Amino acid sequence: MTNSPLLDISNLQVEFKLKNGVVRAVDNVSFQVDRGEFLAIVGESGCGKSVTALSIMKLLPKRVAEIKSDYVKFDGQDLTNFSETEMRKIRGCRMSMIFQEPMTSLNPVLTIGDQLTEPLITHLEMNAEEATKRAVELLNMVGIPEPQKRLSQYPHQFSGGMRQRVMIAIGLACEPDLIIADEPTTALDVTIQAQILELLKDICSRMGVAVIMITHNLGVVAAYADKVNVMYAARIVEKGKASEIFASPSHPYTIGLLRSVPRMDKKRGGRLATIDGLPPNLMAPPSGCRFQPRCPMSTDACSEVPFLSNRKGSSKHSVACFYSEDALKKGSSIYVSDKEIFEPINVKKQAPLLSVRSLKQHFGVSFRSGWLSSISGTVKAVDDVSFDVYPGETVGLVGESGCGKTSVGRAILHLNLPTGGQLEFNSKDLNESSIALVRQDMQVIFQDPFSSLNPRMTIGEILEEPLKVHNIVTETDARFERVGQLLTKVGLYAYMRDRYPHELSGGQRQRVGIARALCMEPKLIICDEPVSALDVSVQAQIINLLEDLQRELGIAYLFIAHDLAVVKHISHKVIVMYLGKIMEIGDGETIYQEPKHPYTKALLDAAPIPDPKIERNRKKIILKGELPSPLNPPRGCVFSSRCNLATDDCKEIIPKLINFSKDQSVACIKVEEVN
């Protein structure tokens, strides 16, 4: 049995029986996973990635989900007819799962120790003492400091990265043969993501554990996957070795996905390729190739169903496309449009539109640490931050979660009243009394468009409201026409004014958020993680839209994000923040090509590049440890506790932001020595 696949799936189908019809979420999916192999499953939201994983472990609700297959063999055993009792012996023991959001997967009322020892006691029949000892070993294995003390703590007392490490520890507890990881790093910063994935890859290679990773991050796939399955509309459209898929993508959908991704190793400029349209409704999918309505190469022949077949000259690279050889030859050119190349935006640096000087945003906190004791203090979310934004300029603001990015944006908008500092907009002081006068000129696009749109109002009502409030358009017919124009400008249809937010896709809702900001005819838009929750294809559409609007209307952006490749693509200037302070600021190309601060270098090293040839030969600085507590930051340089170049001086002296060159300023007392 040692030469047979660990997991062998043939013609897997999953149907959900809903009130208004049947959705076939997985349609005739077949693949194999060998022992110790790392398989990545990629594709847009709704393509069937997570449903495939959940069906393997039989975690779908039987009341609405029906699973069919020729067989699902795990280590030679067909799981198709296994009872729930038999599956419980396999789940958590020989096959485990790491879910996307650890906070909802971990039991909030049980200690970390209880949750780690449970599978050990249940599956391996350890006693309490043996299970506790093993739990300490597991926490130590995944890099959690002081593991003995951590056993008595609860999930809410851990950071996001540490909770994900706990999930990995639980998944590894019984030394399984297979781990299924469903978007395990989506909510994590690039530095923590790199730690988690390096840890998972290292442990699995040492222990011979197979991994199925579900992700939309193609950089992660390039860095770690051995094989790739590309899914679209419930079917696998391309699969093979990761090196071959990235070097020779042969399905138009795969080519479109790869071209949609901004790249760290490319110069800024040019439009991102986009895949027009939306995936089909799986209640009534197209009868032939499901990608046909969006495919730039489709013909009448595509009305028939293309089946997976091996590419010429490759026995392990399969494609479901009648024109795979033509797609391979033409490559990314099949998506090139007339607007592919355009003139860069020239920023006129005469007088800044927004001037931020010594901005501070402090929060007083107080909470109980036990039955009798309490902790109080001040969190310096933003501490002495200064920068300018010029008309028509995009300033990128990057850093790990908790560094103060969003607090900067909220303080500028006076959604949180600044603790200190001076703000000027269009040469006018911003304060509590004057902010109302410039609301129309300063708008915001929030990270989650669904929670920022009123679910009880139609799209038309949402867009008409600010037009009424600010008397921008007074006549009813004129407002109706203006709403249609706004929807068209952001790539939507005018008839969508009658829909409610829940009737739109995530990308469409984000476009509505942009339209709402545009209806005020602003000079500055603060974009707070506007594309982080979107698929790469939709993300590319939104980024192109923002750039087109900037070119047409001269809007300035403060672009807050943790995706460094996106920030590089869209930003003229980049600000790197850490624990409330600016570490480095300057021209985007200069900072990406020649970073000076150790933290900036670590961030850039942690960001994956979607090319296995480049990614697997890169020398990386993997940042160790977690962000310090904002209640008790390091006394000197706030980065000193995680910097591998820190000296005793760094732990005592607070570095000032000094000009390293005309286009770059750095806050590091050792910057000359480091570089």
CATH number, domain containing residue 90 = 3.40.50.300
Is 626 among the domain residues? yes
Please tell me the predicted confidence (pLDDT) of residue 165.
84
Residue 495 shares a structural domain with residue 631: no
Q: What is the DSSP letter of 494?
A: G
Q: Are 581 and 405 in contact (CB under 8 A)?
A: no
Residues 513, 662, single domain; the answer is: no
d(CA 473, CA 468): 7
Residue 169: inside a domain: no
Residue ranges in the chain modelled with pLDDT below 70: 1-2, 186-187, 269, 336-346, 366-375, 533, 625-626, 672-675
In this structure, the answer to whether residues 185 and 328 fall within a common structural domain is yes
Residue 150 lies in a domain: no
* Structural domain containing residue 232: 7-94+174-334
Burial of 80 (0-12, 13-18, 19+ CB in 10 A): middle
Whether residue 203 sits in one domain with residue 292: yes
Please identify, among 314, 334, 354, the residue that sits at the C-terminal boundary of a domain: 334
Which H helix or E strand runs over 601? helix 598-606
Residue 276 inside a domain? The answer is yes
β-sheet bridge partners, residue 98: 181
d(CA 355, CA 426): 8
Instruction: Say if residue 196 is in the same domain as residue 60.
Output: yes
Looking at the fold, whether 77 and 226 belong to one and the same domain comes out as yes
Predicted confidence at residue 374, as pLDDT, reads 62
Q: Is residue 406 a part of any domain in this protein?
A: no
Domain endpoint, select from 490, 521, 552 = 521
| Per-residue confidence (pLDDT) for residue 663, from 0 to 100 | 85
- Beta pairing, strands 581-587 & 664-666: antiparallel
Calculate the CA 75 to chain-centre distance: 33
Give the residue from 265, 354, 347, 271 showing the smallest Cα distance to 568. 265
Same domain, 204 and 323: yes
Same domain, 186 and 273: yes
Specify the number of domains making up the chain. 3
In 430-498, DSSP assigns E strands to 442-445
Same-domain check for residues 198 and 304: yes
106 within a domain of the structure (yes/no): no
Query: Is residue 535 within 8 Å of residue 232, measured between CB atoms?
Result: no
Query: Which pLDDT score, from 0 to 100, does residue 68 have?
Result: 94
Q: Which of 473, 490, 521 is the last residue of a domain?
A: 521
Whole-angstrom distance, CA of residue 172 vs CA of residue 98 = 10
At residue 662, the pLDDT reads 84
Q: Are 539 and 566 in contact (CB under 8 A)?
A: yes
pTM: 0.85
Same domain, 314 and 182: yes
Asked, for residue 219, whether it belongs to a domain, the answer is yes
What is the spatial distance between Cα 384 and Cα 396, in angstroms, rounded to a whole number? 18
Pairwise CA distance, residues 237 & 186, whole Å = 24
Contact 443, 517 (CB under 8 A): yes
What is the average pLDDT value for the chain, to the nearest integer?
Answer: 88
CA-to-CA distance for 608 and 185, rounded, in angstroms?
13
User: Is position 634 within any domain?
Assistant: yes
Which of 300, 236, 309 is CA-nearest to residue 11? 236
At 511 the pLDDT is: 86
509/621 same-domain check: no
Q: Are residues 199 and 315 in the same domain?
A: yes
